[in-house]
Amino acid sequence: MKITDAKVFVGGPGKNYVTLKVMTDQGIYGLGDATLNNRETLPAAYLSDYLIPNLIGKDPRNSEDMWQFMYRGAYFRRGPIAMAAFGAVDMALWDIKGKLANMPLYQLFGGKSRDSALVYAHATGSDLEALMDSVVSYQEQGYEAVRVQCGVPGMPVESYGVANRQQSDEQFITDFSGIHPKQEVWGTERYMRFMPDALAAVRDRFGPELKILHDVHHRLLPREAAEFAKAVESVGLFWLEDPTPADDQQALRLLRQHSTVPVAIGEVFNSVWDCKQLIEEELIDFIRVAVTYAGGITHVKRIVDLAALHHVRTGFHGAPSHSPLCMAAQAHLNAWAPNFGIQEYLVLGTPACDALFPSMHRMEKGRMYVSDAPGLGVDFDEAEAKRYQYKPGSHPVTRLTDGTLWNY
Ligand code: CS2
Ligand code: MG
């Protein structure tokens, strides 16, 4: 069996999805995702300029050898751009493998460990009242778990995770205002004073059953993160996410000394080396990598297996920026993983997105039901893709109140 051609498509409804399609001499094709949010043209170029010419003529069934060729052959290792490009190739080869075996990917991993996967949505509000209303709306849809983010009194409403209701959901993650990022302001002191009480108010209002998650989004120093984690310990959070930047993985030791709050980190990681210490020292409880950003199914399965040895559960990233292809790969891993935790699920099931990516996966009442179709269980409509072009966009940048450039 040989790869005969491959194509990259950039664009989509409100998103710059980067979709790879790999064709073979047996008529079977595979799909993969390289959507690196707000830097989409770069993995697309890596695919077109280097990887696709080296795919032609290769046997698509040798996905492990291809992964090693891409990773070791690059010489300069890792990084989000390369690993997203590798991820797309890897996903496409697994998709082909599943179609050849006439099996959904979870069967190739080891079958189902559960019939459905718990997912969480994002409840948000510019103030506590609006946040409570948002939580009610998700509970009414059957969600058992919600992430809660709230505007902080005295700070501009436009802060991370606080939806500007004027913005469409599609713009929530990427404001296609062009390549120059919006500037946002962050005040740590105000946040530290306000948020523990806000989280306690959500717990008081909704009782002990609701799984409450909160995302600090890398914005506290390690000491501040330890103080915050201690302050919210009695809320009984399902997890506290990205309390402090984890480039310095040992910094999480301080938080662990002061609080038993469950910690979730990993969405910005692109390889096992970014989280090996966090996992082996058991400094986290959930690993948040995304299949696209972390080199595809082959590499993420290694991370999941390492995590399983250290009581760390999965909590794959699932922001609105993710392609249905990435979410499909994660749906199969969620069905298989013995150490599954929860799945973030914000991919907007808009008619336009469903037309571009016909999917056989199903979301119902806060749970994901994986497709039994062979391979990934998502298709790609090339005719529909012609409607979309790349539109430059950028994450906002965040500054402290004194103007210091901070973590978005
Ligand atoms: C967030 C992300 O979903 C999350 O947990 O951290 O939405 C993040 O802000 C975006 O993926 C950035 O592109
Ligand atoms: Mg996050």
Q: How confident is the model at residue 321, as a pLDDT?
A: 86
- Does 259 contact ligand 1 (Cβ within 6 A)? no
Place 161 in a pLDDT band, splitting at 50, 70 and 90: confident
Asked if residues 206 and 238 have their Cβ atoms less than 8 Å apart, the reply is no
Q: Given strand 397-400, what is the order of strands in its sheet? A: 183-186, 397-400, 405-406
What are the start-end ranges of the E strands in 81-162?
117-125, 145-150
Asked if residues 406 and 399 have their Cβ atoms less than 8 Å apart, the reply is yes
Distance 242 CA to ligand 2 centre (A): 6
Give the ligand whose atoms come closest to the C-alpha of residue 320: 1
DSSP 335-402: HH-TTB--EE------HHHHHHS-B--EEETTEEE---SSBTSB---HHHHTT------B--EEEETT
Compute CA 225 distance to the chain's CA centroid, rounded to the nearest angstrom: 22
Neighbours of ion ligand 2 (CB under 5 A): 215
∠ CA 80-212-146, nearest 5°, is 65
Q: How far apart are CA 40 and CA 242, in angstroms?
A: 23
Which of 147, 219, 317, 330 has the most ligand 1 atoms within 8 A of CB, as the residue to mutate?
A: 317
- Does 217 contact ligand 1 (Cβ within 6 A)? yes
Model confidence pLDDT, tens digit, residues 218-273: 999 999 999 999 999 999 999 999 999 999 999 999 999 999 999 999 999 999 99
Average pLDDT over residues 389-403: 91
Q: How far apart are CA 191 and CA 373, in angstroms?
A: 46
> Does position 169 have pLDDT exceeding 60, yes or no?
no
Do β-strands 397-400 and 405-406 pair in parallel, antiparallel, or remain unpaired? antiparallel
Type of residue numbered 335: A
Q: How confident is the model at residue 348, as a pLDDT?
A: 63
Average pLDDT over residues 300-322: 97
Of 172-181, 204-213, 379-388, the one with minimum mean pLDDT is 172-181
Q: How far apart are CA 178 and CA 29, in angstroms?
A: 34
SS3 29: strand
Give the ligand whose atoms come closest to the C-alpha of residue 38: 1
Percent of the chain with pLDDT over 90: 88
Q: How confident is the model at residue 165, as a pLDDT?
A: 47
Q: Which residues contact 350 (CB under 8 A, 6 or more apart)?
A: 13, 14, 170
- Does 37 contact ligand 1 (Cβ within 6 A)? yes
Place 79 in a pLDDT band, splitting at 50, 70 and 90: very high
Residue nearest to atom 3 of ligand 1 (CA): 319
Instruction: Report all structural domains of the chain as residue ranges with CATH numbers, in order of start.
Output: 3-104 (3.30.390.10), 108-406 (3.20.20.120)
Asked if residues 155 and 376 have their Cβ atoms less than 8 Å apart, the reply is no
Q: How far apart are CA 15 and CA 271, in angstroms?
A: 24
Residue nearest to atom 1 of ligand 1 (CA): 319
Distance 246 CA to ligand 2 centre (A): 12
Q: How confident is the model at residue 234, as a pLDDT?
A: 98
Residue nearest to atom 4 of ligand 1 (CA): 319
Q: How confident is the model at residue 178, as a pLDDT?
A: 79
Model confidence pLDDT, tens digit, residues 90-105: 999 999 999 999 999 9
Model confidence pLDDT, tens digit, residues 28-55: 999 999 999 989 999 999 999 999 999 9
> Does position 89 have pLDDT exceeding 90, yes or no?
yes
Q: Which atom of ligand 1 is nearest to the CA of 395?
A: 13
Catalytic residues: 160, 217
Q: How confident is the model at residue 349, as a pLDDT?
A: 74
| Tokens representing residue 285 in the block | 């409880």
DSSP label at residue 104: B
CB atoms within 10 A of CB 178: 10
DSSP 194-218: HHHHHHHHHHHHH-SSSEEEEE-TT
> Does position 116 have pLDDT exceeding 70, yes or no?
yes
- Does 212 contact ligand 1 (Cβ within 6 A)? no
Q: Which atom of ligand 1 is nearest to the CA of 242?
A: 6
Asked if residues 119 and 368 have their Cβ atoms less than 8 Å apart, the reply is yes
Among 227, 241, 165, which residue's Cα sits nearest to residue 196? 227
Q: How far apart are CA 238 and CA 335, in angstroms?
A: 20
Q: How far apart are CA 130 and CA 153, in angstroms?
A: 13
- Does 184 contact ligand 1 (Cβ within 6 A)? no
> Does position 166 have pLDDT exceeding 50, yes or no?
no
Give the ligand whose atoms come closest to the C-alpha of residue 243: 2
Q: Which residues contact 66 (CB under 8 A, 6 or more apart)?
A: 55, 58, 60, 89, 90, 93
> Does position 111 have pLDDT exceeding 80, yes or no?
yes
* pTM score of the predicted model: 0.97
Place 295 in a pLDDT band, splitting at 50, 70 and 90: very high
SS3 73: helix
DSSP label at residue 175: B
Which of 172, 184, 215, 269 has the most ligand 1 atoms within 8 A of CB, as the residue to mutate?
A: 215
Cα-flanking dihedrals φ and ψ of residue 120, to 5°? -130, 150
Residue nearest to atom 2 of ligand 1 (CA): 319
Q: Which residues contact 244 (CB under 8 A, 6 or more apart)?
A: 216, 218, 220, 221, 222, 224, 225, 251, 252, 255
| Tokens representing residue 162 in the block | 């606080």
Q: How confident is the model at residue 126, as a pLDDT?
A: 92
Q: The dihedral of CA 196, 199, 203, 208: what is its sign?
A: negative
Q: How confident is the model at residue 159, as a pLDDT?
A: 72
Average pLDDT over residues 138-154: 96
Q: How far apart are CA 171 and CA 254, in angstroms?
A: 36
Distance 370 CA to ligand 1 centre (A): 23
* Residue whose token pair is 């269980």: 377
Average pLDDT over residues 173-197: 85
